[in-house]
Amino acid sequence: MPNNISMTTRMKLTDIPERNRRFDLLVREARALAERSGIDWGIKLDAAGVALSGQGWDLRKLAKDGRPRPLKLQVFSQSKAALCELSEAGLRQGRIEITGPVSEAWQDIIKAHTLEHIVVRKKSPAYTQQSSNAWRFLATVANKEPWLVTADDIVLACELSNRCQPSGGRTTVLVSLISTFVDPLHLFDTCPLKPLVSRAINQDKKRSDFDVAAKTSSRELADRKNEKRLPEQRAFWELVRIVFTERPLSFNDALRFAMVKILLFTGLRLGEVALLPLDCQRTRAYFDANGRNPEDVGGISNSLSLRHFAEKQGTTALYETTQFVPEIFRDALEDTLNHVAELTAPLRATLKAQYESGRIFPMYKKEELVDVAEMYTRVTGCAVWVRKPTAEIQEVLRRYKQHWDVKELEPLGKLQSELTMVSAAVGAFYNQDARRAGLLVRDSSGTRDDTLGLRGKVVLVDDVERFMLNRLPNRGSHLTPIARANGESLAPWELLFLFPKEIGGHRDRLPVDPRFLAGVDIADQAFLQSALGGSEREESLLHLWKD
């Protein structure tokens, strides 16, 4: 075992002296804040320390930011990574696989910090998942109640964390929690802890940050800053080749290609590109002192800037700003933005109608009867519902996949209506379980019909809407407005990047018909991130288009 790992004395949880009064005060105030916020403090956990179904805190609802990616506080188990490192260091015995929840006091500090961070400080809820991970890691390593934790416990936790996470991300979060939350509120008996922890951590460094920076400073303009945080040069140029020369394999991939192009043209962050508004192009005109066009004397008469919502502005709300676009990229960027607007126009029309009506299928009246095949396309987005597509249908799909232009799908309805056999997927959608749950199949007159065969049968729109709400809530559109820093809100249909939600299939490979699909989502950072840095299993863009 390395000498830099401290051998701290393990205290049994039964040998606990008097509780820290400041800690108890924090918990009481946090409980009161939770009650005012309409959330239940007592989260019921299973044996492993994970919240039971419906018990975790919905952080998006708590933050009221309207972002699409769900975030929940629901894991209060001991850290398996910490248990593994403790075992390897000889500081723990027993089976690593068996874990339970951290103590109730540690659960309290996790909950209290979550409320402080989101409700009081109005910060991003995404950080609370990182902080929860750090709290659980410290709790597992210290093996004592929070107020009994010492600087040695924290240093040991940082050392063990850096072993299993060389990037040091969790250690950075842990030290930040001590300096910004624990020390100011004096929650631990031995506070302040930050100076002792920082001193111990810095002692392990062979050279100062200044010395390292001086010896590794760039000697050529071509050298890259923070090289380890950037992709390999070969991977970067391969990505450029893919998005500019390859053909997207799906509708969603066409959107991802466009997002990568915008990243390259503008240098914006992933989240900033994902949340670009539809009305994002701003043109500024220029005139000389005499009011003449500068182009007449070799100048520039106008420039393009991009309206976007900047991240890392100290708020979870959308912070609007603009960024000028280099003239060399202007035409390509305008073409890309206009192409995305055309691709998502049918989805935007559907989402806007749903947002304004509050219904899943506003294009129909509730009492209207709709063909089962058409409704199947509305729910799943699958463009093809016949069992054996003809050569004409295949040709329509081939043309559609060239540029994902929805105009190419116009003949599809007539071509499929001439066939009599629906696909097995349609039959599986209207199975007996679905019918017992209220998705009733009817004949043309509206009478319930449980006979075999689906061709020519219909469903009641009201039945399908209730079935969607009760059994398929994840296929519903994202209708929550997103808060803006100026106090206003942004409707989801006002964003540029919209994509089909839950269309099924292997990585969105089924041909989607955006004209009919009722489930529309807004893009976020994760929509593109998995495609950029995924594993073989996740099928990143680099894996799918190997040269």
DSSP 186-226: T-STT---HHHHHHHHHHT-SS-HHHHHHHT--SSTTSPTT
- What pLDDT shows up at residue 278? 95
Task: Inform me whether the pLDDT recorded for 296 exceeds 50.
Answer: yes
Q: Coil, strand or helix: which one is 324?
A: strand
- What pLDDT shows up at residue 64? 80
Mean pLDDT over residues 391-415, rounded?
A: 91
- What pLDDT shows up at residue 544? 64
Segment among 116-130, 247-261, 320-334, 378-392 with least mean pLDDT:
116-130
- What pLDDT shows up at residue 70? 79
Kind and range of the H or E element at 57? strand 57-58
Task: Inform me whether the pLDDT recorded for 3 exceeds 80.
Answer: no
Contact assessment for residue 112 and residue 154, using Cβ atoms and an 8 Å cutoff: no
Q: Give the tens place of pLDDT for each residue, 160-199.
A: 888 888 778 888 899 999 999 999 999 998 888 888 888 7
Strongest mean pLDDT among 10-24, 201-215, 366-380:
366-380
Q: Give the tens place of pLDDT for each residue, 364-374.
A: 999 999 999 99
Task: Inform me whether the pLDDT recorded for 409 exceeds 60.
Answer: yes
- What pLDDT shows up at residue 219? 45
Task: Inform me whether the pLDDT recorded for 290 exceeds 90.
Answer: no
Contact assessment for residue 162 and residue 168, using Cβ atoms and an 8 Å cutoff: yes
**Cα dihedral sign, 255-257-263-266:** negative
Mean pLDDT over residues 98-127, rounded?
A: 88
Instruction: Determine what percent of the chain is predicted with pLDDT higher than 90.
Output: 41
Contact assessment for residue 259 and residue 497, using Cβ atoms and an 8 Å cutoff: yes
Q: What order do you get walking across the sheet with 319-324 strand by strand?
A: 281-285, 302-310, 319-324
Per-residue pLDDT band at 511 (split at 50, 70, 90): confident
Q: Coil, strand or helix: which one is 51?
A: strand
C-alpha to C-alpha distance for 260 and 264, rounded to whole angstroms:
6
Task: Inform me whether the pLDDT recorded for 509 exceeds 70.
Answer: no
- What pLDDT shows up at residue 362? 94
- What pLDDT shows up at residue 286? 82
- What pLDDT shows up at residue 329? 94
Segment among 21-30, 69-78, 353-362, 374-383 with least mean pLDDT:
69-78
Mean pLDDT over residues 51-80, rounded?
A: 85
Backbone φ, ψ for residue 304 (5° rounding): -110, 135
Per-residue pLDDT band at 4 (split at 50, 70, 90): very low
- What pLDDT shows up at residue 97? 55
Question: Residue for token digits 């099928």?
Answer: 539
Per-residue pLDDT band at 403 (split at 50, 70, 90): confident
- What pLDDT shows up at residue 217? 47
- What pLDDT shows up at residue 10? 37
C-alpha to C-alpha distance for 474 and 27, rounded to whole angstroms:
35
Task: Inform me whether the pLDDT recorded for 530 exceeds 50.
Answer: yes
Mean pLDDT over residues 418-424, rounded?
A: 87
Those residues with Cβ within 8 angstroms of residue 344's Cβ, 6 or more apart along the chain or in another chain: 255, 496, 497, 498, 499, 514
Q: What is the pTM of this model?
A: 0.72
Task: Inform me whether the pLDDT recorded for 210 exceeds 70.
Answer: no
Backbone φ, ψ for residue 275 (5° rounding): -105, 30
Q: Give the tens place of pLDDT for each residue, 461-491.
A: 999 999 999 988 888 898 989 989 888 899 9
Select the more confidently predicted residue: 401 or 70: 401
C-alpha to C-alpha distance for 514 and 448, rounded to whole angstroms:
30
